[in-house]
Amino acid sequence: MIHLSIQKKLQGAEENMKLEAAFSVQEGEFIALRGKSGSGKTTLLRILAGLEDAQGEIIVENETWLSKVATLPPQKRCIGFVFQDYALFENMTIEQNLLFVQKDKALAAHLLELTELTALKERYPNALSGGQKQRVSIARALMKRPKILLLDEPLSALDPQMRNKLQNELLTLHKEFGTTTIMVSHDPSEIYKLASRVIELENGKIIHDGTPKEVLLKTQGSQKFSFEGEVLEIKKVDVIYVAIVAIGQQLVEVVVSTNEAKALKIGEIVRLSTKAFNPTISHSYT
């Protein structure tokens, strides 16, 4: 059980803001932390890890990590931290990276096996791809059998296939080790796949805290489906207007009325929904 209640003044992108967050985490939970950049997600992780100071309280399994009187240094907190830029020890081989954390050869071998890195264990980080480096970083973070695993946008620098593969690996590792995990992520499908709970931050405050379904699904009432997208172009075709909207990686054309066309601005974020028919789902052959 983790109790956290912290405050910290931050210098935000536009103005000074105050990070104020309080929540509890059950053992074994997988929490996704989302929010715009500059909303305080990374700072929250760094405070949990002890890499940055703050006011308030952090109690992890009856051990006080942060209080008015004392701050436990990062060395004494039993945590694993996965950085966005991997942060591997460049002077050590993959295996040495793991063993530096804990001299436990059996655990290192097991983790290398799970992350399919056994064949690469004698290599130096410089000779690995981004996806391989991130797997080393995740394996290294688990070497201490941490009470909390903190992941700061671990997969955002990777291509979609590699991301998918690593999501599955994270799931496997979470099942095997049952480590309480907090991951910063922007990708809704990633969050839906991995997390059991989503916390959303805005300007340093928690604005949503619920299951991925509650927080992420945007349909309301009788809407069959609903997407958020960006208006790229509005063009006149004969007598009607057509808006080109980018939804994720896809572009769609939507017929709009003259009045709607006048109300829309290029670059605007819009919601596209329908309720009149049942969408059909079929295999994609791209």
Partner 1 sequence: MIAALQNIEFTPFLISFKLAAITAFVLFCIALPLAWYLSQTRSKAKPFIEAVTALPIVLPPSVLGFYILWAFAPESALGAFFEDAFGVKLAFSFTGLVIASCFYSLPFMVQPLQSGFESLSKNMLEASYVAGKSKLVTLFQVALPNIKPSLLTAIIVTFAHTVGEFGVVLMVGGSIPGETKVASVAIYDMVEMMDYTAAHIYSAIMLIISFVVLLGVYIFNAKQTRRFGL
Site stretch for partner 1 (CB under 8 A), options 18-26, 71-79, 164-172, 189-197: 71-79
Site stretch for partner 1 (CB under 8 A), options 23-31, 140-148, 227-235, 270-278: 140-148
Q: Is 81 in the site for partner 1 (CB under 8 A)?
A: yes
Partners of residue 271 on adjacent β-strands? 228
Q: Is 129 in the site for partner 1 (CB under 8 A)?
A: no
Q: Is 87 in the site for partner 1 (CB under 8 A)?
A: yes
Q: 101 or 198: whose CB is closer to partner 1? A: 101
- Which of 80, 154, 188, 204: binder of partner 1 (CB under 8 A)? 80
Alpha carbon 215 to chain centroid, angstroms: 14
Q: Is 89 in the site for partner 1 (CB under 8 A)?
A: yes
- The nearest distance, CB 140 to partner 1, in angstroms, is 8
**Amino acid letter at 286?**
T
Site stretch for partner 1 (CB under 8 A), options 2-10, 36-44, 62-70, 136-144: 136-144
- The nearest distance, CB 245 to partner 1, in angstroms, is 38
- Contact between residue 47 and residue 54 where contact means Cβ atoms under 8 Å apart: yes
Q: CA of 10: how far to CAs of 14, 100, 158, 164, 278, in Å?
A: 11, 34, 29, 34, 47
Q: What dihedral do alpha carbons 269, 270, 271, 274 form, nearest 10°?
A: -150
Q: Which 230-259 residues touch partner 1, going by CB under 8 A?
A: none
- The nearest distance, CB 97 to partner 1, in angstroms, is 9
- Contact between residue 7 and residue 20 where contact means Cβ atoms under 8 Å apart: yes
Q: Is 72 in the site for partner 1 (CB under 8 A)?
A: no
Alpha carbon 36 to chain centroid, angstroms: 12
Q: CA of 153: how far to CAs of 32, 254, 270, 282, in Å?
A: 10, 33, 26, 31
Q: 87 or 264: whose CB is closer to partner 1? A: 87
Distance CA 116, CA 132 (A): 9
Q: Is 91 in the site for partner 1 (CB under 8 A)?
A: yes
- The nearest distance, CB 21 to partner 1, in angstroms, is 20
**Amino acid letter at 282?**
S
Distance CA 216, CA 2 (A): 24
Site stretch for partner 1 (CB under 8 A), options 74-82, 164-172, 179-187, 270-278: 74-82
- The nearest distance, CB 244 to partner 1, in angstroms, is 40
- Contact between residue 215 and residue 198 where contact means Cβ atoms under 8 Å apart: yes
Site string for partner 1, 37-56 (x = CB under 8 A): ------------x-x-----
Q: CA of 262: how far to CAs of 44, 63, 258, 266, 267, in Å?
A: 42, 59, 6, 11, 14
Q: Is 74 in the site for partner 1 (CB under 8 A)?
A: yes
HSE of 54 in the Cβ direction (CA atoms, 13 Å)? 28
- Which of 16, 126, 222, 250: binder of partner 1 (CB under 8 A)? 126
Q: Is 11 in the site for partner 1 (CB under 8 A)?
A: no
Residues that bind partner 1 (CB under 8 A): 49, 51, 73-77, 79-81, 83, 85, 87-91, 100-101, 124, 126, 140, 143-144
